[in-house]
Structure formats: C-alpha cells, structure tokens
Amino acid sequence: MEHFLEYIAAISLSAKLIYSILGIVLIRSVFRHFERTLPLRYGDGDRRYHVRKIVTTVCYIIIFAFMVQTGQMVDKRNRGHG
C-alpha cells in the first residue's frame, strides 16, 4: 500500500484529475447499465421506478466514496512530505 501511495503522490495534479474523472465515468457507466437492465426484470412500472431510483442512489454514494477515498489517500501522502 505504501508503494501505491508513493506512486499516487508522484503523479501530477492534472493526471490525478484525469484518473479521477475516468474512474467516475467508469463507475457511472456500470451503474447506467444496471439502471437499464435491472428494471426490466420487474413488470410493474412503479417497481421499475423504485429499482432505478435505488440503483442511481447507490451509484452516487459509490462515486462520492471514491472521491473521498482518493482525496484522503493523496492528502495523507502529501502530509508525510510536508
């Protein structure tokens, strides 16, 4: 894990931003697929709406957790060099 943090700290800020954006796009794409396929298993329109709503909420929670975790890893590493 320490080697990974050193690698992350060595990357430029613009590269970190690009990696973060790519990670968010990847997570969103996977959950977009789930939004389209999971509701098809439920016949009732109201149930399909609730499934889509749950999948979207979980997606945003995971993206938020990803952003927080990435920021914490970089922040911890930068404090060590401070």
Write the pLDDT tens digit of every residue in 6-47. Answer: 776 677 777 778 888 888 888 888 888 887 887 777 777 788
CA atoms of 45 and 52, how far apart (whole Å): 11
Residue 36 CA to chain centroid, in angstroms?
Answer: 19
Predicted confidence band at 78 (pLDDT cuts at 50, 70, 90)?
low
Quote the pLDDT of residue 68: 80
